[in-house]
Amino acid sequence: MKINHRHYTLMIFALASIAFSILAYVFIYKRAIKQAEYYVSATREVESEKNRDKYEEDIMKIFELSKEDRVKVETFIAREDRIVDFIEKVEEIGAISKTTLMLSSISKEEGKIKAKVNVTGSWGGVMSALMLMENMGLQASLSNASLNSLGNTSSTSWDLSLDIEAPTIKQNEKFI
């Protein structure tokens, strides 16, 4: 059988078809990979957005559940516009415990109020005053406590000296 010029044409056409098929396959393959990567990325983004929405819902639930507690927190902190109330509350402890209570060197710093407290009275009265200061309903911290006995053994009087420090918030600040 002789090779005809038509055979060359068919052979070239077959080789061109194979080359075109290979190029089309590579193009479609790369396009499919790119589409799969885009799909995975979009799926991750949707999942991330769902997680953010769930987190936001959880935060809002916590916010709603903590409303009462946030109101209580404000009662533990002295307000700057009501520092006199704090001082009166501390001085009232002296009357309740039947001791002589004196506040001295009251100072207000950024976010807190400090005072030096001296309590004089019987052992029970001084201990009662100390207990009342520890539990007065404010987030107060007591430090530098010093307890001394005054007088003779028949009528012993006690002197308690300590520093009290309580946090403050500004009038317009709130714990939402």
Query: How many domains are there within the chain?
Result: 2
pLDDT at 150: 77
- Retrieve residue 156's tokens: 């012993």
Determine the pLDDT at residue 104.
83
Structure tokens at 33: 């990979």
Give the per-residue pLDDT at 136: 76
- Report the CATH number that the domain containing residue 147 is assigned in CATH: 3.30.70.60
Query: Quick one: pLDDT at residue 80?
Result: 63
Bridge-based pairing of strands 157-169 and 141-150 is antiparallel
CA dihedral 114, 120, 124, 129 (to 10 degrees): -20
Question: Is residue 102 classed as helix, strand or coil in its secondary structure?
Answer: strand
Domain containing 102: what range? 78-169
pTM score of the predicted model: 0.53
| Cβ-contact 114, 164 below 8 angstroms | yes
| Confidence at residue 74, expressed as pLDDT on a 0 to 100 scale | 64
Considering only CA atoms, give the Rg of the chain: 41
pLDDT of residue 43: 95
Tell whether 61 and 82 lie within a shared domain: no
How many of the other CB atoms lie within 10 Å of CB of 140? 22
89 & 35 share domain: no
pLDDT at 22: 96
Ranges of the chain whose pLDDT falls below 70: 1-3, 73-82, 137, 152-155, 171-176
Do 163 and 106 share a domain, yes or no?
yes
> What's the CA dihedral at 84, 85, 91, 92 to 10 degrees?
160
pLDDT of residue 59: 93
Which pLDDT score, from 0 to 100, does residue 34 have? 96
Helices (H), the chain: 5-65, 67-76, 83-97, 123-134
Q: Tell me, yes or no, whether 41 lies in a domain.
A: yes
pLDDT at 45: 96
Residues 55 and 113 placed together within one structural domain of the fold: no
